[in-house]
Amino acid sequence: MAQVSYLDVFWFVPNLIGYTRVGLAAAAVFGMYYEHPFLTFVSYGLSELLDVADGYYARKLGQCSKLGEVLDMVTDRCTTTVLLVYLAQLYQSNMLALLFCFIVSLDISSHYMQMYSQLVTGKTNHKEMGDNSHWILKAYYTDRRVLFAFCFGNESFFMLLYLNKYLPTYALYLSVPLTLAAFPIFFIKNAINVVQLYESASDLARLDAAEINKNKK
């Protein structure tokens, strides 16, 4: 069996999908700042849907990789951050801007803390749950349908907030109820991020305490 070089990993199908997501995210950002809401909606939506495809093909083709895992997480964090930054400008509300800043900070810190704590405890990726993992995180990460539903609902809430500023009045009769329907998913998703941040910080603190006590002996 031929050996895989590091260059081959760059050409793995799920990683190619990841690069496509980056390109679509860039197109969405262009659409935001040059006020092409249709381009933004289509590009951002496709990027989020491809988030499912990369994981599927990674497992199907046996092409799971650390590069793909980090690329996926970084793309998710960057696309959400850019959209929230733009929403803060679009709505011109100090309270909403503070809320969006909090959400961005929570999203980035909770996922970084989770990935770091999983790596130092010997896990292969940030979605791997052990017997002692919090039941909420187990339910969230171990069932891909649950994970997709919350991620899709959360991003849909943000995208609907964006579209509501551009849609004609008659279309708001549909988009506003959809926004309200997506709000509970957004709220729960970010509550899960709070749990993730706390549990990851606790895991790191336990490791620190164990190491300090070991050195005292």
**Is there a catalytic annotation at residue 143?**
no
Quote the CA–CA distance of 134 and 154 in Å, as a whole number: 21
- For 6-42, the pLDDT digits (tens) are 899 999 999 999 999 999 999 999 999 999 999 999 9
Residue 167 per-residue DSSP state: S
Is pLDDT at 139 greater than 80 in this prediction? yes
First-to-final CA distance of the chain: 49
Of the listed 76, 131, 143, 203, which one is catalytic? Answer: 76
Mean pLDDT value across residues 70-96:
93
Quote the CA–CA distance of 76 and 182 in Å, as a whole number: 19
Contact 208, 117 (CB under 8 A): no
Quote the CA–CA distance of 115 and 139 in Å, as a whole number: 17
Is pLDDT at 75 greater than 90 in this prediction? yes
Map tokens 């961005």 to a residue: 104
- For 157-209, the pLDDT digits (tens) are 999 999 999 999 999 999 999 999 999 999 999 999 999 999 999 999 998 99
At residue 132, the pLDDT reads 80
pTM of the model: 0.90
Residue 124 per-residue DSSP state: S
Q: How confident is the model at residue 120 (pLDDT cuts 50, 70, 90)?
A: confident
At residue 29, the pLDDT reads 94
Alpha-carbon Rg for the chain in angstroms: 19
At residue 1, the pLDDT reads 59
At residue 192, the pLDDT reads 96
Closest CA to 194 of 133, 120, 75, 107: 107
Quote the CA–CA distance of 78 and 21 in Å, as a whole number: 11
